[in-house]
Structure 1
Amino acid sequence: MRWWPMPERLSAREILALVADEATFSELPGRIREPKADGPLGWQGYDASRARATARTGEEESVVCGTASVKGAPAVLIAFEFGFLGGSLGERTGDRLEAAYHHARAHRLPVVPLIATGGSRMQEGMLALSQLQRVARESALTREAGLPQIAVLRDPTTGGGWATLGAGADVVLALPGAQVGFAGSRVRPPDADPAAYSAGGQVAVGSADAVVQPAELRETLGRWLRLLTTPAQEAPAPPALGTAGLPATGWDAVQRARSPQRPRAQAYLDAYFTRRLDISGDRCGGTDPDGMLCGFGERDGRTVAYAAQTGAATRPAGYRTAARLIRLADRLDIPVLTLVDTPGAANDAEAERQGAGAAIAEAFGAVASARVPITTLVIGEGGSGGALALAAPGNTWATPDSYFSVIAPELAAAILKRPKDEVEATAEQLRIRPQDLVELGVIRGIVNHLP
């Protein structure tokens, strides 16, 4: 087994060699301004510091930019050299980054920032900090052009580099043990929890998607690049995996949908895709791994995005993650499959504090405004607006062991002040069976229905 150095020991050239296919990296020349004596502020000793950094690293600036193939997928790679003044951003760094993004858009290539930076260069003052605006604009233009950006967080990823190239990417991967946070170790409060500034900590709160071992980085990046650049034309509804016969009554539909033996989202996704990769988190401090699965998968050699409820009550972070997934897929022209299976949105006090209403509204809005095809399959419980938020208008299907209802029959009976022994009759009145939903025009049809 090959030994890899710790993340902080990887130079720009080492991370490029780790990621790029052999002999495919070609450095971009870029437009680099001539340095002024001791920089734009005339900072005494700055020239000597840059000279030492060049002697130590062999680089003339803190980033190395070029094109390469990653497991056969072409991309623009941006590798930070932390040994050059802490990988800090200055005017010449901004020049190189701008040129790299221009090249990516001109040649329709995805961008992969391999970040290791301590932030903006103090010896250039506000001129250094303003490079973040240049970087943010280039990233935004690349996003508008429909090109994916996949960031890799090395050690350390702090300051403006994290707040632009890192956190602003479509998919965020991190090397294990990397320090990741807006505040670097020298400027944090003395009582700060170091776990909050780690790669694992950022994944836990939904600010990054996954921690990837160095030995697996090229393969993982290659898979992400292929998935985000090979869209399918549509997302056909999956076949039903459970019971084929239709429920006799509304309460029968409810019981079948709630059965522990009924196939859940994981089974449907495994059957539908050859392989898939998950995204994680809402980028607002939350995840919902028990309630929502989101990501991109390969089907017949092309990519379909998915947002799948797992049968649990969906939390606000789940809806926001699904909305993030749908917006990203829409921008990359990738069709979306949504699987509906929830008794409803989480409605506890903590969910309300986390903005349940706003999160559900965000999911409704993402589905309503998407330009790519969205296909929905109700695979279990379709509980109220918490389920409807993921349903594609005019292209929703159902399995025979599912139901879709304005509210759970028990809650409907309670609201109507009916006794418990009238719950089954209430379920029948709600007309929630798959065949009722077809007749009412709520869904297009029942998948794999055997008459």
Structure 2
Amino acid sequence: MAERAGRLSARQVLALVADDFRELPGAPGEPGSDGPLGWPGYGASRVRAARRTGEQESVVCGTAHIEGTRAVLIAFEFGFLGGSLGRHTGDRLEAAYVHAREHRLPVVPLIATGGSRMQEGMLALTQLQRVARQSALVRRAGLPQTAVLRDPTTGGGWAALGAGADVVLALPGAQVGFAGSRVRPPDADPAAYTAQGQLEAGAVDAVVRPEELRRTLGLWLRLLTRPSTAAAPPPRALGAADLPATGWEAVARARSPRRPRAERYLDAYFTRRVAVRGDRCGGTGGGMLCGFGEHEGRTVAYAAQTGTATRPAGYRLAARLIRLADRLGIPVLTLVDTPGAANDAEAERQGVGAAIADLFDAVASARTPLTTLVIGEGGSGGALALAAPGNTWATPDSYFSVIAPELATAILKQPPEQVPATAGRLRIRPQDLLELGVIRGIVGHETHRAPDGSS
């Protein structure tokens, strides 16, 4: 079953992931009718599809509990005309989204579709606009949408219900792509149209085995449906406890390979966590870890730099994470640790400046509380873009600087032996940052500043 779970029927996949499913009333369709275009044989095809599958349309919509969280589920029946979208499919989808908004429920599309139903022409294609509007209204209502991509997920169904979801999970081996196998270019790389290929391209957050799907969906739904108005507390320091004597010592500590990195901080802070991956623009990773986790019984979103130069995809991923958390009312924790933004030619071609600007905008626009801890290097604007104004903290083995001391020395046309002195003049130690009002406090030390900057 694991290999072909993507080809399970709608009822089978619902039984795989949910308990106590209750179907919502659906449009009955037009049995025997050849549809709005009078397409020869269309009515007979619908009758055969209904007899074969036991369904009256290509989607089954209802409510159920997934590991304790109630949600609206939309399960596509691929056996009914390839899971295609027609007018009455649109009726059912719209009713499901309306029910979700009225009852404040998350939406879980379980997708297996070949796209829009050609026997209904443009009337079928315009159902994508209906779906897009309903999805946007659910998004505006602050409700999460977590899609599961089955085999196949192609055409407008992928674009409107899959790729537009907040979190995108996929089953192994599923065909996923805008172009189906019969319409894509003959020289196309088939790997690009797979769940794994979409994961590597940043369009999917995780590929999940069928036997793990219920548990994974349940965790995602539980984390995404627990808003909170209180800011996340900064993590405790995991490295050195004493403060550096000089600016250059602060730099050396932050650059030490023995210093704790983001993974250790996240593991210590969260009892469980799930990752979002991909910037939805073809990039993944980029020196950033993002996701949602459970801290002291509530959900906190996180965006954490990994100690390397942060690439454009990393900034776009962090902006995506912060905007999603803001819309769901979930507080955000960011961990700053980068020598700076990547500045090679490829980073410029990928739009590093625009990506940093977008992250600045996401942080500045967020209504949900943000908390930042500088855990290592705080390299210039590439680090500042991730920092929470008025609520940034630092560990004793970190620094924050307008520029790397080596680069500042070179710009000033001074010899390399002046680098330590330049580091001191920049006042980049944690205690300097506190005195200057740049940070709110040093974790592990009692002295701190209030949000208004007073001691």
CA contact (8 A) 1:32 1:96 kept: no
Please give the alpha-carbon distance, in whole angstroms, between the structure 1 residues aligned to 2:3 and 2:368. Answer: 43
Match of 2:452 in 1: none
| 1:48-103 Cα shifts (integer Å, max 9, x gaps) | 10011111111110000000000111000000000000000000000000000000
Residue 123 of structure 1: which of 119, 124, 128 is its match?
Answer: 119
Residue 300 of structure 1 and its aligned partner are, at CA, apart by 1.5
Residue 110 of structure 1 and its aligned partner are, at CA, apart by 0.1
* 1:26-425 → structure 2 map (5 Å cutoff): 26-32=22-28, 34=30, 37-232=33-228, 233-288=230-285, 291-425=287-421
Match of 2:21 in 1: 25
| 1:336-387 Cα shifts (integer Å, max 9, x gaps) | 0000000000001000000000000011000000000000000000000000
CA contact (8 A) 2:28 2:56 kept: no
Please give the alpha-carbon distance, in whole angstroms, between the structure 1 residues aligned to 2:317 and 2:115. Answer: 28
Residue 34 of structure 1 and its aligned partner are, at CA, apart by 4.5
TM-score for both structures, normalised by structure 1: 0.97
Any gaps of 5 or more consecutive residues in structure 1?
A: none
Q: Which range is displaced more, 3-12 or 210-219?
A: 3-12
CA contact (8 A) 1:245 1:449 kept: no
Matching residue's letter, 1:107: H
Residue 17 of structure 1 and its aligned partner are, at CA, apart by 0.5
CA contact (8 A) 2:7 2:150 kept: no
Please give the alpha-carbon distance, in whole angstroms, between the structure 1 residues aligned to 2:7 and 2:153. Answer: 14
Residue 5 of structure 1 and its aligned partner are, at CA, apart by 5.3
Residue 31 of structure 1 and its aligned partner are, at CA, apart by 4.3
Residue 37 of structure 1 and its aligned partner are, at CA, apart by 2.4
Percentage of identical aligned residues: 80
SS of the residue corresponding to residue 78 of structure 1 reads: strand
TM-score for both structures, normalised by structure 2: 0.97
Please give the alpha-carbon distance, in whole angstroms, between the structure 2 residues aligned to 1:288 and 1:372. Answer: 24
Please give the alpha-carbon distance, in whole angstroms, between the structure 1 residues aligned to 2:264 and 2:279. Answer: 24
CA contact (8 A) 1:7 1:178 kept: no
Please give the alpha-carbon distance, in whole angstroms, between the structure 2 residues aligned to 1:236 and 1:25. Answer: 39
Please give the alpha-carbon distance, in whole angstroms, between the structure 2 residues aligned to 1:427 and 1:231. Answer: 42
Residue 416 of structure 1 and its aligned partner are, at CA, apart by 1.0
2:10 equivalent to 1:12 = yes
CA contact (8 A) 1:235 1:374 kept: yes
Matching residue's letter, 1:11: S
CA contact (8 A) 2:32 2:46 kept: no
Q: Which range is displaced more, 403-412 or 33-42?
A: 33-42
Match of 1:430 in 2: 426
CA contact (8 A) 1:288 1:314 kept: no
SS of the residue corresponding to residue 103 of structure 1 reads: helix
Matching residue's letter, 2:251: V
Residue 32 of structure 1 and its aligned partner are, at CA, apart by 4.7
| 1:123-161 Cα shifts (integer Å, max 9, x gaps) | 000000000000000000000000000000000000000
Match of 2:451 in 1: none
2:449 equivalent to 1:449 = no
CA contact (8 A) 1:37 1:47 kept: yes
Matching residue's letter, 2:94: E
Matching residue's letter, 2:66: V
Count of residues paired in the alignment: 446
CA contact (8 A) 1:7 1:177 kept: no
